[in-house]
Amino acid sequence: MKYLTEFRNGEVAQRIAREIHQVATRPWKIMEVCGGQTHSIIRNGIDQMIPAGIEMIHGPGCPVCVTPLNLIDKALAIASQPGVIFCSFGDMLRVPGTDRDLFQVKGNGGDVRVVYSPLDAVELAVRNPDKQVVFFGVGFETTAPANAMSVHLAKRRGLKNFSVLVSHVLVPPAIEAIMSSPGNKVQAFLAAGHVCSVMGYWEYPPITEKYRIPIVVTGFEPLDLLDGIRRAVIQLEKGEYRVENAYERIVSFAGNLPAQQLLSEVFEVADRAWRGIGVIPKSGWRLSAPYREFDAEERFQISGIHTEESPLCKSGDVLRGAIKPAECPAFGKECTPRHPLGATMVSSEGACAAYFNYGRFLSAEDLAHAGAALTGVANG
Ligand code: SF4
């Protein structure tokens, strides 16, 4: 428990917050890239400890949230096929596709299973040679090494009944896309510490140079986040822009080299669609040619899917940092964790779920409504 208590010390948090108040002379807009950081900021009230003028903008860093609807619809179509065992992490089961979710496919007789590791899916394939086992491989650079390892292992074992529906996205191109977007408001980034634990932060200095923007590699505990904000504000106030590593206990400049080697063997960089954002060039991975036989999209050749986003859902605006979740008209009304309209309300890293679960941003009327919905969740 040492690391947890050490980075949750209230007195130290107050001291860092006071320092931020002393340093900040102007309003600044800082984006935390990762949804895990968003939850920690809201849960710990960090946005309320810092000066009112420093706005935390919530970035697109939730793997479930950015998986495009079309791919979720493909997952639903594959999972519905007879003879398929469809494996996913739990969050994905409740993400709405155009007209249903994986839970409903399961309820209708589909063999949909929650796994805790892609390697479990490989084992399922070994034990069920008469079935096609498909793993939904979503995520940023953080989860990609385990998914790459599962494909590597399947190839080594000569499995013909294992495949991965790949939806891997990469953080640096997303930062560039946000900085290049016409209405961009972001003036500094807190980079996601767990992504950097795999990839290091050697990709970031050219971005800080190109956009003249501070990037601080930041962890997830309250003191990590306050320290990341403090460092970003100091740079902004001085007019500096460079990469700083505020997560040295986990992250090195070079990152995890064996993991990066495995990733570059199993995957190749490709253009990727991000839900609510659109296609970002070279922002994702797909299986490389030697491993393409394990690509579920190639194996199942699903076509003719009709994909339609909920007209009520503003998750694209939330993911771009253009609006806060509570500014969505459906927030806490038509859309709750029990009846989510968008992935940002479903995912444990989703910004809408963070705002809803910690409920500080609702009107009294909305709080009563949300309270009823939460009771429903607790009883559900
Ligand atoms: S509150 Fe619900 S409907 Fe609104 S953006 Fe978030 S997920 Fe979409």
Residue 130 has a pLDDT of: 98
Give yes or no for residue 31 having a pLDDT over 80.
yes
Ligand 1 center to 329 CA (angstroms) = 8
Q: Which of 275, 352, 362, 369 to mutate to test the pocket of ligand 1 (most atoms within 8 A of CB)?
A: 352
Residue 91 has a pLDDT of: 85
Give yes or no for residue 343 having a pLDDT over 70.
yes
**Cα–Cα distances in angstroms (integers) from residue 197 to residues 2, 67, 146, 163, 182, in the given order:** 20, 22, 14, 27, 31
Report the distance separating Cα 331 and Cα 334, nearest Å. Answer: 7
Ligand 1 center to 136 CA (angstroms) = 23
Pick the atom of ligand 1 nearest to 346's CA.
7
Residue 308 has a pLDDT of: 87
- The average pLDDT across 104-110 equals 97
pLDDT single digits (tens) 158-199: 999 999 999 999 999 999 999 998 888 899 999 999 999 999
- CA 191, 194, 199, 200 torsion-angle sign: positive
Q: Are 320 and 280 in contact (CB under 8 A)?
A: no
Report the distance separating Cα 302 and Cα 54, nearest Å. Answer: 46
Residue 379 has a pLDDT of: 37
Which residue in 341, 371, 375, 352 sits closest to 94, CA to CA? 341
Residue 49 has a pLDDT of: 94
Q: Under DSSP, is residue 340 helix (H, G, I), strand (E, B) or coil?
A: coil
Phi–psi pair at 8, nearest 5 degrees: -130, 25
- CA 360, 362, 368, 371 torsion-angle sign: negative
Residue 76 has a pLDDT of: 97
Give the containing element (helix H, strand E) for 222.
Answer: helix 222-238
- The average pLDDT across 119-143 equals 97
Give yes or no for residue 371 having a pLDDT over 70.
no
Q: Are 312 and 330 in contact (CB under 8 A)?
A: yes
Residue 378 has a pLDDT of: 38
Give yes or no for residue 55 having a pLDDT over 90.
yes
DSSP state of 284: E
Ligand 1 center to 47 CA (angstroms) = 21
Residue 377 has a pLDDT of: 39
Q: List residues bridging with 101 in a β-sheet.
A: none
Give the contacts of 94 (CB within 8 A, at least 6 positions apart).
101, 102, 103, 340, 346
- The average pLDDT across 142-168 equals 97
CA geometry: angle 351, 208, 215, nearest 5 deg: 40
Residue 90 has a pLDDT of: 87
| Ligand 1-lining residues (CB < 6 angstroms) | 312-315, 318, 325, 328, 330-331, 335, 340-342, 344-345, 352
- Is the model more confident about 189 or about 368? 189
Give yes or no for residue 147 having a pLDDT over 60.
yes
Report the distance separating Cα 319 and Cα 167, nearest Å. Answer: 17
pLDDT single digits (tens) 16-26: 999 999 999 99
Q: Which of 314, 339, 358 to mutate to test the pocket of ligand 1 (most atoms within 8 A of CB)?
A: 314
- Is the model more confident about 78 or about 309? 78
Give yes or no for residue 380 having a pLDDT over 80.
no
Ligand 1 center to 30 CA (angstroms) = 22
Pick the atom of ligand 1 nearest to 315's CA.
5
Residue 374 has a pLDDT of: 44
Ligand 1 center to 317 CA (angstroms) = 10
Residue 3 has a pLDDT of: 63
Give yes or no for residue 105 having a pLDDT over 70.
yes
Ligand 1 center to 291 CA (angstroms) = 37
Q: Which of 94, 317, 323, 331 to mutate to test the pocket of ligand 1 (most atoms within 8 A of CB)?
A: 331
pLDDT single digits (tens) 195-218: 999 999 999 999 999 999 999 999
Lowest mean pLDDT among 76-80, 229-233, 311-315: 311-315
**Cα–Cα distances in angstroms (integers) from residue 167 to residues 63, 98, 116, 124, in the given order:** 9, 18, 17, 21
Pick the atom of ligand 1 nearest to 323's CA.
5
pLDDT single digits (tens) 241-279: 999 999 999 999 999 999 999 999 999 999 999 987 889
Instruction: Give the pairing type, strands 278-287 and 162-169.
Output: antiparallel
pLDDT confidence of 376, banded at 50, 70, 90?
A: very low
CA 27 to chain centre: 27
Pick the atom of ligand 1 nearest to 344's CA.
7
Residue of the CA atom closest to atom 7 of ligand 1: 342
Residue 113 has a pLDDT of: 97
**Cα–Cα distances in angstroms (integers) from residue 161 to residues 85, 123, 134, 272, in the given order:** 10, 11, 8, 26
Pick the atom of ligand 1 nearest to 352's CA.
6
- The average pLDDT across 1-9 equals 72
Residue of the CA atom closest to atom 1 of ligand 1: 331
CA geometry: angle 373, 319, 354, nearest 5 deg: 35
Q: List residues bridging with 132 in a β-sheet.
A: 84
Ligand 1 center to 312 CA (angstroms) = 8
Residue 369 has a pLDDT of: 56
Ligand 1 center to 167 CA (angstroms) = 21
| Mean pLDDT for all residues in the chain | 91
Residue 375 has a pLDDT of: 46
Lowest mean pLDDT among 135-144, 222-231, 239-248, 318-327: 318-327
Residue of the CA atom closest to atom 3 of ligand 1: 313
**Cα–Cα distances in angstroms (integers) from residue 265 to residues 172, 180, 349, in the given order:** 20, 30, 29
Residue of the CA atom closest to atom 8 of ligand 1: 313
pLDDT confidence of 353, banded at 50, 70, 90?
A: very high
Pick the atom of ligand 1 nearest to 332's CA.
1
Q: Are 96 and 330 in contact (CB under 8 A)?
A: no
Ligand 1 center to 72 CA (angstroms) = 17
Give yes or no for residue 1 having a pLDDT over 90.
no
Ligand 1 center to 342 CA (angstroms) = 5
Ligand 1 center to 97 CA (angstroms) = 14
Give yes or no for residue 2 having a pLDDT over 90.
no
Q: Are 54 and 20 in contact (CB under 8 A)?
A: yes
